[in-house]
A and B are shown apart, each in its own frame.
Chain A
Amino acid sequence: GAGVSQSPRYKVAKRGQDVALRCDPISGHVSLFWYQQALGQGPEFLTYFQNEAQLDKSGLPSDRFFAERPEGSVSTLKIQRTQQEDSAVYLCASSLPGTGSNGEQYFGPGTRLTVT
């Protein structure tokens, strides 16, 4: 079966531009997470959806970051007025919570964002 896919894989944006990053989770997975991974660091949590509900957005670094999952499947992470410090790999993960789950999250390949 298909895994988590993300697009684009690479994005170069000029400072001040808006970008939109897409995530297609594994079909049927209820939970969807976004993480940001800076160079040489581990992934850091940004936000979490259960179906279409955004239950936790405590990791979003500023109000320039916005995420949505309107129909409970595909999700988009939008960054407005990009800054150089936004340069990172943005990872999406999905999981199937509940009894029988081992907590495993399945990650996509990420989108590498470079802000120039």
Chain B
Amino acid sequence: DQQVKQNSPSLSVQEGRISILNCDYTNSMFDYFLWYKKYPAEGPTFLISISSIKDKNEDGRFTVFLNKSAKHLSLHIVPSQPGDSAVYFCAAIPGHFGNEKLTFGTGTRLTIIP
């Protein structure tokens, strides 16, 4: 039973354009959502997060939107750069105090075309 779903295994975007990565979840207990970025042979690195009390969080080129009623979140990257090419994982936890296990989606491989 996949509680966090990323239905697009891959996405290609032209450099300079907007990249939109989507994530859906089924567990209403999830209270905090995170995006991680992963390069080959490295561990995931934290990118941006959002609490369920917000609907938007922005950090430079990265913005995460949360639609709680639809149980959907998205990550926008604008403008996209070649270094953004990586696998992106959506993750969720029921709290946000650093002692909760992450539930991950299956990931979306983003390729930025120069």
Q: Closest residue of chain A to B109, judged by CB?
A: A40
Q: Number of contacts between A and B (CB, 8 Å)? A: 79
Would you list 20 pairs from A and B whose C-beta atoms are within 8 A, ordered by A residue? A4-B43, A33-B102, A35-B104, A45-B101, A45-B102, A56-B101, A59-B101, A91-B43, A93-B102, A95-B99, A97-B99, A98-B97, A103-B96, A104-B46, A104-B49, A107-B36, A107-B43, A108-B43, A109-B42, A110-B43
Question: Do residues A101 and B97 form an inter-chain contact, with CB atoms below 8 A?
Answer: yes
* CB neighbours of A91 from chain B (8 A): 43-44
* CB neighbours of A30 from chain B (8 A): 99
Interface status of B83 (Cβ within 8 A of chain A): no
Chain A proximity of B82: nearest CB distance (Å):
22
Interface residues on A, range: 20 to 34
Chain A proximity of B103: nearest CB distance (Å):
7
Interface of B (DSSP majority class): loop
Question: Do residues A45 and B103 form an inter-chain contact, with CB atoms below 8 A?
Answer: yes
Chain A proximity of B102: nearest CB distance (Å):
6
Question: Do residues B43 and A103 form an inter-chain contact, with CB atoms below 8 A?
Answer: no
* CB neighbours of A95 from chain B (8 A): 98-99
Interface of A (DSSP majority class): loop
Q: A44-B104, A95-B98 are in contact. Are A105 and B42 (CB under 8 A)?
A: no
Measured between alpha carbons, how far is A107 from B46 in the docked complex, in Å? 9
Question: Do residues A104 and B43 form an inter-chain contact, with CB atoms below 8 A?
Answer: no
Interface status of A75 (Cβ within 8 A of chain B): no
- Binary interface encoding of chain B residues 1-15 relative to chain A, with 1 for a CB under 8 A from any of its CBs, else 0: 000101000000000
- Interface residue from A31, A59, A109, A110 paired with B98 (Cβ < 8 Å): A31
